[in-house]
Amino acid sequence: MSDNSFVVVANRLPVDTHTAPDGTRTWAPSPGGLVSALTPVLEKHQGCWVGWPGVVGDAPEPFRTEGGVLLHPVKLTQADFEGFYEGFSNATLWPLYHDLIVTPIYSRDWWQAYREVNLRFANEVAAVAAPGATVWVQDYQLQLLPGILRQLRPDLTIGFFLHIPFPSPDLFAQLPWRTELVRGLLGADIIGFQLESNARNFAELARRQGLEVTGSVRTRGIGTWVSAGDGRRSGIGAFPISIAAAAMADLTPADLGGAERLHAELGKERTVILGVDRLDYTKGIHQRLIAFEELLETGALDPDQVCLVQLATPSRERLEHYRTTRSTVEEAVGRINGRFGRIGQPVVHYQHTSVNKTILRRYYRMADVMLVTPFKDGMNLVAKEYVACHGDNSGALVLSEFAGAAAELTQAYQCNPFDIESMKKALRDAVVGLKQQPDVLAQRMRAMHEHVMAHDVDLWASTFLECLSTAGADRQAQ
Ligand code: GDG
Protein backbone atom coordinates (compact mmCIF):
# COMPACT_ATOMS: atom_id res chain seq x y z
CA MET A 1 0.00 0.00 0.00
CA SER A 2 1.16 3.53 -0.72
CA ASP A 3 0.84 6.92 0.94
CA ASN A 4 -1.62 8.46 -1.52
CA SER A 5 -4.50 9.73 0.56
CA PHE A 6 -6.28 11.28 -2.45
CA VAL A 7 -6.57 9.36 -5.71
CA VAL A 8 -8.40 10.32 -8.88
CA VAL A 9 -9.03 7.53 -11.33
CA ALA A 10 -10.09 8.23 -14.88
CA ASN A 11 -9.84 6.42 -18.16
CA ARG A 12 -7.10 8.78 -19.37
CA LEU A 13 -4.11 10.36 -17.79
CA PRO A 14 -4.03 14.11 -18.58
CA VAL A 15 -1.32 13.70 -21.24
CA ASP A 16 -0.87 12.65 -24.84
CA THR A 17 2.27 10.82 -25.92
CA HIS A 18 4.19 11.65 -29.08
CA THR A 19 7.02 9.52 -30.39
CA ALA A 20 9.74 11.30 -32.38
CA PRO A 21 11.34 9.58 -35.43
CA ASP A 22 14.34 8.64 -33.24
CA GLY A 23 12.00 6.84 -30.84
CA THR A 24 12.10 9.46 -28.05
CA ARG A 25 8.76 9.81 -26.34
CA THR A 26 7.49 13.20 -25.16
CA TRP A 27 4.33 14.11 -23.25
CA ALA A 28 1.95 16.96 -23.99
CA PRO A 29 -1.24 18.10 -22.21
CA SER A 30 -4.32 16.68 -23.93
CA PRO A 31 -7.62 18.55 -24.47
CA GLY A 32 -10.99 17.29 -23.22
CA GLY A 33 -13.59 18.24 -20.65
CA LEU A 34 -12.41 15.92 -17.93
CA VAL A 35 -8.81 17.05 -18.09
CA SER A 36 -9.71 20.73 -18.18
CA ALA A 37 -11.87 20.21 -15.12
CA LEU A 38 -9.61 18.10 -12.92
CA THR A 39 -6.07 19.41 -13.37
CA PRO A 40 -6.49 22.41 -11.04
CA VAL A 41 -8.12 20.27 -8.34
CA LEU A 42 -5.36 17.66 -8.40
CA GLU A 43 -2.59 20.22 -8.39
CA LYS A 44 -4.12 21.75 -5.30
CA HIS A 45 -4.19 18.40 -3.48
CA GLN A 46 -0.86 17.12 -4.97
CA GLY A 47 -2.87 13.97 -5.61
CA CYS A 48 -2.34 10.78 -7.59
CA TRP A 49 -4.07 10.21 -10.93
CA VAL A 50 -4.52 6.64 -12.14
CA GLY A 51 -5.31 6.27 -15.83
CA TRP A 52 -4.38 4.95 -19.23
CA PRO A 53 -1.50 6.92 -20.80
CA GLY A 54 -3.05 6.97 -24.27
CA VAL A 55 -0.84 4.45 -26.07
CA VAL A 56 -1.41 0.72 -26.20
CA GLY A 57 1.34 -1.63 -25.09
CA ASP A 58 3.91 -0.88 -22.42
CA ALA A 59 3.01 1.73 -19.85
CA PRO A 60 5.75 4.06 -18.55
CA GLU A 61 6.74 4.09 -14.88
CA PRO A 62 4.70 6.38 -12.60
CA PHE A 63 5.99 9.98 -12.72
CA ARG A 64 5.12 13.44 -11.38
CA THR A 65 3.92 16.36 -13.50
CA GLU A 66 5.41 19.85 -13.17
CA GLY A 67 2.33 20.73 -11.14
CA GLY A 68 3.18 17.94 -8.66
CA VAL A 69 0.50 15.39 -9.58
CA LEU A 70 1.68 11.76 -9.45
CA LEU A 71 0.60 10.05 -12.67
CA HIS A 72 0.14 6.31 -12.33
CA PRO A 73 -0.33 4.67 -15.73
CA VAL A 74 -2.50 1.59 -16.34
CA LYS A 75 -1.55 -0.61 -19.28
CA LEU A 76 -4.04 -1.39 -22.05
CA THR A 77 -3.43 -3.81 -24.89
CA GLN A 78 -4.73 -3.26 -28.42
CA ALA A 79 -7.52 -5.76 -27.68
CA ASP A 80 -8.46 -3.85 -24.47
CA PHE A 81 -8.47 -0.60 -26.42
CA GLU A 82 -10.80 -2.01 -29.06
CA GLY A 83 -13.16 -3.86 -26.71
CA PHE A 84 -13.18 -1.67 -23.60
CA TYR A 85 -12.57 1.82 -25.01
CA GLU A 86 -13.73 1.98 -28.62
CA GLY A 87 -16.27 -0.78 -28.14
CA PHE A 88 -18.18 -0.85 -24.86
CA SER A 89 -17.35 2.69 -23.71
CA ASN A 90 -17.76 4.57 -26.97
CA ALA A 91 -19.97 2.43 -29.19
CA THR A 92 -22.28 1.07 -26.44
CA LEU A 93 -22.43 3.40 -23.44
CA TRP A 94 -21.74 6.74 -25.17
CA PRO A 95 -24.66 6.50 -27.65
CA LEU A 96 -26.97 4.89 -25.05
CA TYR A 97 -26.32 7.66 -22.51
CA HIS A 98 -26.75 10.33 -25.19
CA ASP A 99 -30.30 9.15 -25.90
CA LEU A 100 -29.53 6.96 -28.93
CA ILE A 101 -28.39 9.68 -31.35
CA VAL A 102 -26.82 6.66 -33.03
CA THR A 103 -27.73 3.06 -32.26
CA PRO A 104 -25.65 1.43 -29.51
CA ILE A 105 -24.03 -1.93 -30.21
CA TYR A 106 -24.45 -4.56 -27.49
CA SER A 107 -21.53 -6.99 -27.74
CA ARG A 108 -20.78 -9.66 -25.16
CA ASP A 109 -17.07 -9.57 -26.06
CA TRP A 110 -16.91 -5.83 -25.43
CA TRP A 111 -18.68 -6.28 -22.10
CA GLN A 112 -16.09 -8.88 -21.12
CA ALA A 113 -13.30 -6.42 -22.02
CA TYR A 114 -15.04 -3.66 -20.03
CA ARG A 115 -15.21 -5.90 -16.94
CA GLU A 116 -11.59 -6.96 -17.26
CA VAL A 117 -10.26 -3.43 -17.67
CA ASN A 118 -12.38 -2.13 -14.77
CA LEU A 119 -10.91 -4.95 -12.64
CA ARG A 120 -7.36 -3.98 -13.71
CA PHE A 121 -7.97 -0.33 -12.81
CA ALA A 122 -9.41 -1.40 -9.45
CA ASN A 123 -6.31 -3.49 -8.69
CA GLU A 124 -4.03 -0.55 -9.53
CA VAL A 125 -6.03 1.83 -7.33
CA ALA A 126 -6.11 -0.72 -4.49
CA ALA A 127 -2.31 -0.85 -4.70
CA VAL A 128 -1.64 2.91 -4.66
CA ALA A 129 -4.29 4.13 -2.19
CA ALA A 130 -3.23 4.73 1.42
CA PRO A 131 -5.33 3.16 4.23
CA GLY A 132 -8.62 5.06 4.51
CA ALA A 133 -7.83 7.12 1.38
CA THR A 134 -10.39 9.02 -0.65
CA VAL A 135 -10.77 7.78 -4.21
CA TRP A 136 -12.66 9.77 -6.82
CA VAL A 137 -13.69 7.69 -9.85
CA GLN A 138 -14.49 9.54 -13.07
CA ASP A 139 -16.96 8.77 -15.78
CA TYR A 140 -18.72 6.15 -17.83
CA GLN A 141 -15.67 4.05 -18.72
CA LEU A 142 -15.26 3.00 -15.07
CA GLN A 143 -18.74 2.33 -13.74
CA LEU A 144 -17.86 -1.12 -12.39
CA LEU A 145 -14.82 0.16 -10.54
CA PRO A 146 -16.53 1.41 -7.34
CA GLY A 147 -18.16 -1.98 -6.75
CA ILE A 148 -14.93 -3.94 -7.31
CA LEU A 149 -12.89 -1.50 -5.23
CA ARG A 150 -15.37 -1.68 -2.36
CA GLN A 151 -14.74 -5.44 -2.18
CA LEU A 152 -10.96 -5.12 -2.48
CA ARG A 153 -10.59 -2.19 -0.09
CA PRO A 154 -13.59 -1.68 2.22
CA ASP A 155 -11.56 0.97 4.11
CA LEU A 156 -11.68 3.45 1.21
CA THR A 157 -14.06 6.36 0.80
CA ILE A 158 -15.17 6.14 -2.82
CA GLY A 159 -16.88 8.83 -4.91
CA PHE A 160 -18.07 8.50 -8.49
CA PHE A 161 -18.89 11.32 -10.92
CA LEU A 162 -20.58 10.83 -14.29
CA HIS A 163 -19.60 13.53 -16.80
CA ILE A 164 -22.11 12.55 -19.43
CA PRO A 165 -25.91 12.42 -19.11
CA PHE A 166 -27.62 9.50 -17.39
CA PRO A 167 -30.49 8.29 -19.58
CA SER A 168 -34.08 7.58 -18.63
CA PRO A 169 -34.68 4.12 -17.09
CA ASP A 170 -36.63 3.10 -20.21
CA LEU A 171 -33.56 3.61 -22.40
CA PHE A 172 -31.14 2.19 -19.85
CA ALA A 173 -33.28 -0.95 -19.70
CA GLN A 174 -31.96 -1.91 -23.16
CA LEU A 175 -28.55 -2.65 -21.69
CA PRO A 176 -28.13 -6.42 -21.22
CA TRP A 177 -25.83 -5.77 -18.23
CA ARG A 178 -27.98 -3.10 -16.55
CA THR A 179 -28.05 -4.81 -13.15
CA GLU A 180 -24.27 -5.26 -12.99
CA LEU A 181 -23.64 -1.62 -13.94
CA VAL A 182 -25.96 -0.29 -11.25
CA ARG A 183 -24.38 -2.61 -8.70
CA GLY A 184 -20.94 -1.37 -9.76
CA LEU A 185 -21.91 2.26 -9.25
CA LEU A 186 -23.44 1.52 -5.86
CA GLY A 187 -19.99 0.57 -4.53
CA ALA A 188 -19.47 4.34 -4.22
CA ASP A 189 -20.36 6.33 -1.09
CA ILE A 190 -21.72 9.06 -3.32
CA ILE A 191 -22.62 9.15 -7.01
CA GLY A 192 -22.61 12.59 -8.61
CA PHE A 193 -24.39 13.60 -11.81
CA GLN A 194 -24.31 16.84 -13.80
CA LEU A 195 -28.03 17.55 -13.48
CA GLU A 196 -30.87 16.75 -11.11
CA SER A 197 -32.71 15.09 -14.00
CA ASN A 198 -29.78 12.65 -14.47
CA ALA A 199 -29.78 11.84 -10.75
CA ARG A 200 -33.55 11.31 -10.78
CA ASN A 201 -33.18 8.93 -13.74
CA PHE A 202 -30.69 6.90 -11.72
CA ALA A 203 -32.84 6.91 -8.58
CA GLU A 204 -35.86 5.73 -10.59
CA LEU A 205 -33.77 2.99 -12.19
CA ALA A 206 -32.57 1.80 -8.78
CA ARG A 207 -36.20 1.77 -7.57
CA ARG A 208 -37.18 -0.34 -10.58
CA GLN A 209 -34.40 -2.75 -9.72
CA GLY A 210 -36.04 -3.25 -6.31
CA LEU A 211 -33.63 -1.09 -4.28
CA GLU A 212 -34.87 1.18 -1.53
CA VAL A 213 -34.63 4.87 -2.46
CA THR A 214 -35.27 7.70 0.00
CA GLY A 215 -35.31 11.51 -0.17
CA SER A 216 -35.38 13.86 -3.14
CA VAL A 217 -32.58 14.99 -5.42
CA ARG A 218 -30.67 18.20 -4.72
CA THR A 219 -28.04 20.26 -6.50
CA ARG A 220 -24.62 20.59 -4.82
CA GLY A 221 -25.70 18.29 -2.02
CA ILE A 222 -26.89 14.78 -1.28
CA GLY A 223 -30.67 14.56 -0.85
CA THR A 224 -31.30 11.01 -2.05
CA TRP A 225 -30.03 7.69 -0.73
CA VAL A 226 -30.12 4.32 -2.45
CA SER A 227 -29.65 1.11 -0.47
CA ALA A 228 -26.63 -0.71 -1.87
CA GLY A 229 -27.86 -4.15 -0.81
CA ASP A 230 -24.96 -4.91 1.57
CA GLY A 231 -26.11 -2.80 4.51
CA ARG A 232 -24.53 0.34 3.03
CA ARG A 233 -26.23 3.12 1.13
CA SER A 234 -25.04 5.43 -1.65
CA GLY A 235 -25.85 9.14 -1.75
CA ILE A 236 -27.07 10.61 -5.04
CA GLY A 237 -26.79 14.26 -6.06
CA ALA A 238 -26.31 16.77 -8.87
CA PHE A 239 -22.94 18.54 -9.05
CA PRO A 240 -22.83 20.70 -12.21
CA ILE A 241 -19.22 20.80 -13.38
CA SER A 242 -17.55 24.05 -14.35
CA ILE A 243 -14.25 25.58 -15.45
CA ALA A 244 -11.25 27.30 -13.87
CA ALA A 245 -13.14 30.53 -14.43
CA ALA A 246 -10.69 33.06 -12.98
CA ALA A 247 -7.78 31.72 -15.06
CA MET A 248 -9.95 31.65 -18.17
CA ALA A 249 -11.20 35.21 -17.61
CA ASP A 250 -7.73 36.63 -16.93
CA LEU A 251 -6.93 37.91 -20.42
CA THR A 252 -3.60 39.69 -20.77
CA PRO A 253 -3.02 42.67 -23.11
CA ALA A 254 -1.31 40.15 -25.43
CA ASP A 255 -4.49 38.03 -25.45
CA LEU A 256 -6.67 41.05 -26.15
CA GLY A 257 -4.32 42.20 -28.93
CA GLY A 258 -4.21 38.66 -30.35
CA ALA A 259 -8.01 38.47 -30.32
CA GLU A 260 -8.27 41.77 -32.13
CA ARG A 261 -5.79 40.65 -34.78
CA LEU A 262 -7.69 37.38 -35.28
CA HIS A 263 -10.90 39.31 -35.79
CA ALA A 264 -9.19 41.72 -38.20
CA GLU A 265 -7.91 38.78 -40.27
CA LEU A 266 -11.48 37.52 -40.62
CA GLY A 267 -12.80 40.99 -41.46
CA LYS A 268 -12.92 43.86 -39.02
CA GLU A 269 -16.54 44.70 -39.74
CA ARG A 270 -17.75 41.13 -40.09
CA THR A 271 -19.72 39.42 -37.35
CA VAL A 272 -17.73 36.34 -36.39
CA ILE A 273 -19.64 33.25 -35.24
CA LEU A 274 -17.59 30.53 -33.52
CA GLY A 275 -18.01 26.80 -32.87
CA VAL A 276 -15.48 24.79 -30.80
CA ASP A 277 -16.11 21.08 -30.34
CA ARG A 278 -14.60 17.66 -30.34
CA LEU A 279 -15.74 16.28 -33.69
CA ASP A 280 -18.52 14.16 -32.19
CA TYR A 281 -21.99 13.37 -33.54
CA THR A 282 -23.52 14.50 -30.24
CA LYS A 283 -22.30 18.08 -30.75
CA GLY A 284 -24.66 18.99 -33.62
CA ILE A 285 -21.95 20.53 -35.83
CA HIS A 286 -23.56 19.54 -39.11
CA GLN A 287 -26.98 20.82 -38.05
CA ARG A 288 -25.51 24.18 -37.07
CA LEU A 289 -23.88 24.44 -40.50
CA ILE A 290 -27.24 23.75 -42.15
CA ALA A 291 -28.89 26.48 -40.05
CA PHE A 292 -26.14 28.91 -41.06
CA GLU A 293 -26.45 27.90 -44.72
CA GLU A 294 -30.20 28.44 -44.73
CA LEU A 295 -29.80 31.89 -43.17
CA LEU A 296 -27.39 32.79 -45.97
CA GLU A 297 -29.70 31.28 -48.56
CA THR A 298 -32.71 33.35 -47.50
CA GLY A 299 -30.62 36.50 -47.18
CA ALA A 300 -31.31 36.69 -43.42
CA LEU A 301 -27.51 36.78 -43.04
CA ASP A 302 -25.22 38.47 -45.56
CA PRO A 303 -22.06 36.50 -46.47
CA ASP A 304 -20.13 39.78 -46.75
CA GLN A 305 -21.03 40.65 -43.17
CA VAL A 306 -20.75 37.36 -41.28
CA CYS A 307 -18.51 34.34 -41.15
CA LEU A 308 -18.48 31.13 -39.17
CA VAL A 309 -15.28 29.71 -37.66
CA GLN A 310 -15.51 26.05 -36.69
CA LEU A 311 -12.67 24.50 -34.70
CA ALA A 312 -13.19 20.74 -34.61
CA THR A 313 -10.80 18.70 -32.46
CA PRO A 314 -10.16 15.21 -33.90
CA SER A 315 -11.86 12.55 -31.78
CA ARG A 316 -12.36 8.74 -31.82
CA GLU A 317 -11.39 8.68 -35.48
CA ARG A 318 -11.41 4.92 -35.94
CA LEU A 319 -15.11 4.63 -35.12
CA GLU A 320 -17.45 4.58 -38.08
CA HIS A 321 -19.98 7.14 -36.82
CA TYR A 322 -17.16 9.60 -36.15
CA ARG A 323 -15.77 9.15 -39.65
CA THR A 324 -19.22 9.67 -41.15
CA THR A 325 -19.77 12.77 -39.02
CA ARG A 326 -16.45 14.20 -40.21
CA SER A 327 -17.24 13.67 -43.89
CA THR A 328 -20.74 15.10 -43.49
CA VAL A 329 -19.36 18.20 -41.77
CA GLU A 330 -16.55 18.67 -44.27
CA GLU A 331 -18.88 18.23 -47.21
CA ALA A 332 -21.19 20.89 -45.79
CA VAL A 333 -18.27 23.29 -45.22
CA GLY A 334 -17.17 22.85 -48.85
CA ARG A 335 -20.68 23.27 -50.16
CA ILE A 336 -21.42 26.41 -48.15
CA ASN A 337 -18.12 28.01 -49.19
CA GLY A 338 -18.79 27.01 -52.80
CA ARG A 339 -22.20 28.65 -52.65
CA PHE A 340 -21.56 31.76 -50.59
CA GLY A 341 -17.81 32.31 -50.25
CA ARG A 342 -15.53 34.19 -52.57
CA ILE A 343 -11.92 33.49 -53.51
CA GLY A 344 -9.88 34.70 -50.56
CA GLN A 345 -13.02 35.21 -48.50
CA PRO A 346 -14.57 31.96 -47.29
CA VAL A 347 -17.75 32.23 -45.29
CA VAL A 348 -16.90 29.15 -43.18
CA HIS A 349 -13.39 28.77 -41.75
CA TYR A 350 -12.93 25.18 -40.67
CA GLN A 351 -10.00 23.63 -38.84
CA HIS A 352 -9.73 19.94 -37.96
CA THR A 353 -6.89 20.19 -35.44
CA SER A 354 -6.71 21.24 -31.83
CA VAL A 355 -5.24 24.60 -30.86
CA ASN A 356 -3.46 25.48 -27.62
CA LYS A 357 -5.37 27.02 -24.72
CA THR A 358 -3.88 30.51 -25.26
CA ILE A 359 -5.03 30.58 -28.86
CA LEU A 360 -8.38 29.09 -27.90
CA ARG A 361 -9.02 31.89 -25.41
CA ARG A 362 -8.24 34.46 -28.11
CA TYR A 363 -10.77 32.79 -30.39
CA TYR A 364 -13.37 32.89 -27.61
CA ARG A 365 -12.66 36.53 -26.91
CA MET A 366 -12.73 37.56 -30.56
CA ALA A 367 -15.99 35.78 -31.41
CA ASP A 368 -19.10 37.93 -31.58
CA VAL A 369 -21.41 34.93 -31.30
CA MET A 370 -20.65 31.49 -29.85
CA LEU A 371 -22.65 28.58 -31.27
CA VAL A 372 -23.02 25.57 -28.96
CA THR A 373 -25.65 23.22 -30.35
CA PRO A 374 -25.30 19.65 -29.00
CA PHE A 375 -28.18 17.20 -29.32
CA LYS A 376 -27.23 16.02 -25.85
CA ASP A 377 -24.33 17.02 -23.61
CA GLY A 378 -23.59 16.31 -19.95
CA MET A 379 -22.62 19.94 -19.35
CA ASN A 380 -20.55 21.58 -22.16
CA LEU A 381 -17.57 23.47 -20.87
CA VAL A 382 -17.06 25.40 -24.11
CA ALA A 383 -20.18 27.47 -23.37
CA LYS A 384 -18.83 28.37 -19.92
CA GLU A 385 -15.35 29.11 -21.26
CA TYR A 386 -16.76 31.54 -23.82
CA VAL A 387 -18.79 33.33 -21.17
CA ALA A 388 -15.74 33.55 -18.88
CA CYS A 389 -13.74 35.25 -21.65
CA HIS A 390 -16.38 37.99 -21.99
CA GLY A 391 -15.99 39.83 -18.72
CA ASP A 392 -16.46 43.04 -20.72
CA ASN A 393 -20.05 41.81 -21.41
CA SER A 394 -19.43 41.66 -25.17
CA GLY A 395 -20.68 38.80 -27.32
CA ALA A 396 -23.66 36.46 -27.38
CA LEU A 397 -24.13 32.77 -26.68
CA VAL A 398 -26.43 30.51 -28.69
CA LEU A 399 -26.95 27.39 -26.61
CA SER A 400 -28.80 24.11 -27.08
CA GLU A 401 -31.51 23.32 -24.54
CA PHE A 402 -30.02 19.82 -24.43
CA ALA A 403 -26.66 20.89 -23.04
CA GLY A 404 -26.43 20.56 -19.26
CA ALA A 405 -25.13 24.14 -19.23
CA ALA A 406 -28.56 25.39 -20.37
CA ALA A 407 -29.89 24.86 -16.83
CA GLU A 408 -27.45 27.51 -15.57
CA LEU A 409 -26.89 29.80 -18.57
CA THR A 410 -30.51 30.79 -18.86
CA GLN A 411 -29.65 34.17 -20.42
CA ALA A 412 -28.27 32.48 -23.55
CA TYR A 413 -30.18 32.40 -26.83
CA GLN A 414 -31.45 28.89 -26.27
CA CYS A 415 -32.49 26.65 -29.14
CA ASN A 416 -33.60 23.13 -30.00
CA PRO A 417 -30.92 21.56 -32.25
CA PHE A 418 -33.44 19.03 -33.60
CA ASP A 419 -35.38 21.99 -35.01
CA ILE A 420 -33.42 23.87 -37.69
CA GLU A 421 -35.86 26.80 -37.52
CA SER A 422 -35.25 27.15 -33.80
CA MET A 423 -31.47 27.24 -34.36
CA LYS A 424 -31.88 29.76 -37.19
CA LYS A 425 -34.00 32.01 -35.01
CA ALA A 426 -31.59 31.90 -32.08
CA LEU A 427 -28.59 32.59 -34.31
CA ARG A 428 -30.26 35.40 -36.17
CA ASP A 429 -31.60 36.98 -32.97
CA ALA A 430 -28.07 36.91 -31.57
CA VAL A 431 -26.47 38.42 -34.68
CA VAL A 432 -29.13 41.10 -35.08
CA GLY A 433 -29.21 41.76 -31.34
CA LEU A 434 -25.50 42.62 -31.36
CA LYS A 435 -26.25 45.57 -33.66
CA GLN A 436 -29.73 46.54 -32.53
CA GLN A 437 -29.86 45.84 -28.80
CA PRO A 438 -26.29 45.94 -27.52
CA ASP A 439 -27.43 46.92 -24.01
CA VAL A 440 -29.79 43.97 -23.72
CA LEU A 441 -27.06 41.61 -24.90
CA ALA A 442 -24.55 43.11 -22.49
CA GLN A 443 -27.01 42.53 -19.63
CA ARG A 444 -27.48 38.92 -20.66
CA MET A 445 -23.73 38.34 -20.86
CA ARG A 446 -23.17 40.06 -17.51
CA ALA A 447 -25.64 37.72 -15.77
CA MET A 448 -24.02 34.62 -17.31
CA HIS A 449 -20.49 35.85 -16.60
CA GLU A 450 -21.32 36.48 -12.95
CA HIS A 451 -22.83 33.01 -12.67
CA VAL A 452 -19.81 31.25 -14.20
CA MET A 453 -17.32 33.24 -12.10
CA ALA A 454 -19.22 32.35 -8.92
CA HIS A 455 -19.71 28.66 -9.82
CA ASP A 456 -16.30 27.47 -10.95
CA VAL A 457 -14.56 24.11 -10.98
CA ASP A 458 -13.24 24.64 -7.46
CA LEU A 459 -16.79 24.92 -6.18
CA TRP A 460 -17.71 21.76 -8.10
CA ALA A 461 -14.82 19.78 -6.67
CA SER A 462 -15.05 21.15 -3.14
CA THR A 463 -18.80 20.55 -2.81
CA PHE A 464 -18.45 17.03 -4.19
CA LEU A 465 -15.51 16.24 -1.90
CA GLU A 466 -17.25 17.70 1.16
CA CYS A 467 -20.31 15.54 0.52
CA LEU A 468 -18.03 12.55 -0.05
CA SER A 469 -16.17 13.12 3.18
CA THR A 470 -19.44 13.35 5.16
CA ALA A 471 -20.82 10.21 3.51
CA GLY A 472 -17.57 8.32 4.17
CA ALA A 473 -17.58 9.35 7.84
CA ASP A 474 -21.26 8.33 8.19
CA ARG A 475 -20.53 4.90 6.75
CA GLN A 476 -17.63 4.35 9.13
CA ALA A 477 -19.76 5.45 12.09
CA GLN A 478 -22.44 2.86 11.27
C1 GDG B 1 -17.35 15.69 -21.46
C2 GDG B 1 -18.87 15.79 -21.58
C3 GDG B 1 -18.85 17.72 -20.01
C4 GDG B 1 -11.80 21.62 -27.32
N5 GDG B 1 -11.07 21.87 -28.42
C6 GDG B 1 -9.87 22.27 -27.98
C7 GDG B 1 -9.87 22.28 -26.59
N8 GDG B 1 -11.07 21.86 -26.22
C9 GDG B 1 -11.49 21.76 -24.80
C10 GDG B 1 -12.47 22.84 -24.47
C11 GDG B 1 -13.22 22.22 -23.30
C12 GDG B 1 -13.12 20.73 -23.60
O13 GDG B 1 -12.12 20.53 -24.59
C14 GDG B 1 -14.42 20.17 -24.16
O15 GDG B 1 -15.29 20.02 -23.10
P16 GDG B 1 -16.86 19.87 -23.33
O17 GDG B 1 -17.50 19.96 -22.00
O18 GDG B 1 -17.32 20.93 -24.25
O19 GDG B 1 -17.10 18.46 -24.03
P20 GDG B 1 -16.56 16.91 -23.88
O21 GDG B 1 -15.17 16.77 -24.37
O22 GDG B 1 -17.57 16.10 -24.61
O23 GDG B 1 -16.61 16.59 -22.31
C24 GDG B 1 -19.33 17.22 -21.37
C25 GDG B 1 -17.37 17.46 -19.83
O26 GDG B 1 -17.03 16.10 -20.10
C27 GDG B 1 -16.92 17.81 -18.42
O28 GDG B 1 -17.68 17.13 -17.48
O29 GDG B 1 -19.09 19.11 -19.94
O30 GDG B 1 -20.74 17.29 -21.42
O31 GDG B 1 -19.32 15.30 -22.85
O32 GDG B 1 -12.56 22.47 -22.10
O33 GDG B 1 -11.78 24.00 -24.15
N34 GDG B 1 -8.82 22.65 -25.85
C35 GDG B 1 -7.69 23.04 -26.50
N36 GDG B 1 -7.62 23.04 -27.87
C37 GDG B 1 -8.67 22.67 -28.64
O38 GDG B 1 -8.59 22.69 -29.87
N39 GDG B 1 -6.63 23.42 -25.80
| Per-residue pLDDT tens over the stretch 254-281 | 999 999 999 999 999 999 999 999 999 9
Q: Are residues 55 and 68 in the same domain?
A: yes
CA separation for the pair 227, 149 (Å, rounded): 18
pTM beyond 0.75, yes or no: yes
Q: Are residues 202 and 251 in the same domain?
A: no
262 C-alpha to ligand 1 centroid (Å)? 22
Query: Do 48 and 63 touch, CB atoms closer than 8 A?
Result: no
Q: What integer is the mean pLDDT of 395-411?
A: 98
Q: Is the pLDDT of residue 335 over 60?
A: yes
96 C-alpha to ligand 1 centroid (Å)? 20
Q: Are residues 326 and 439 in the same domain?
A: yes
36 C-alpha to ligand 1 centroid (Å)? 7
Residue nearest to atom 30 of ligand 1 (CA): 378
Percent of the chain residues topping a pLDDT of 90: 82
Residue nearest to atom 14 of ligand 1 (CA): 33
Q: What's the confidence (pLDDT) of residue 22?
A: 86
Q: Are residues 125 and 90 in the same domain?
A: yes
Residue nearest to atom 23 of ligand 1 (CA): 33
Residue nearest to atom 32 of ligand 1 (CA): 33
Give residues (CB < 6 A) around ligand 1: 31-34, 36-37, 163-164, 241, 276, 278, 311, 313, 354-357, 360, 377-382, 385
Q: Are residues 190 and 77 in the same domain?
A: yes
Work out the end-to-end distance of the chain between its first and last CA atoms, rounded to an integer number of angstroms. 25
Long-range contacts of 355-361 (CB under 8 A, 24+ apart): 355/311, 358/255, 358/258, 359/258, 360/276, 360/311, 360/385, 361/248, 361/251, 361/255, 361/385, 361/389
Please tell me the least confidently modeled range out of 33-42, 131-140, 464-473. Answer: 33-42
Band of residue 362 on the pLDDT scale cut at 50, 70, 90: very high
325 C-alpha to ligand 1 centroid (Å)? 18
Q: What integer is the mean pLDDT of 302-325?
A: 94
Q: Are residues 228 and 255 in the same domain?
A: no
Q: Are residues 236 and 252 in the same domain?
A: no
CA separation for the pair 370, 449 (Å, rounded): 14
Name the residue among 313, 306, 420 with its Cα closest to residue 369.
306
Helices (H), 129-156: 145-152
Q: Are residues 386 and 471 in the same domain?
A: no
Residue nearest to atom 4 of ligand 1 (CA): 277
Band of residue 209 on the pLDDT scale cut at 50, 70, 90: very high
From 161, 197, 198, 278, mutation site for ligand 1 pocket: most ligand atoms within 8 A of C-beta: 278
Helices (H), 250-356: 253-266, 285-297, 320-340
Q: Is the pLDDT of residue 120 over 60?
A: yes
Q: Are residues 272 and 194 in the same domain?
A: no
Band of residue 20 on the pLDDT scale cut at 50, 70, 90: confident
Q: Is the pLDDT of residue 62 over 90?
A: no
Q: Which amino acid is at 148?
A: I
Q: How far does Cα 245 stand from its chain's mean position?
A: 16
Q: Are residues 92 and 134 in the same domain?
A: yes
| Per-residue pLDDT tens over the stretch 148-158 | 999 999 999 99
Q: Are residues 438 and 469 in the same domain?
A: no
Query: Do 420 and 290 touch, CB atoms closer than 8 A?
Result: yes
Q: What's the confidence (pLDDT) of residue 1?
A: 46
How many domains is the chain partitioned into structurally? 2
Give the CATH number of the domain where residue 83 resides. Answer: 3.40.50.2000
Q: Give the domain extent around 322.
A: 246-454
Q: Are residues 192 and 80 in the same domain?
A: yes
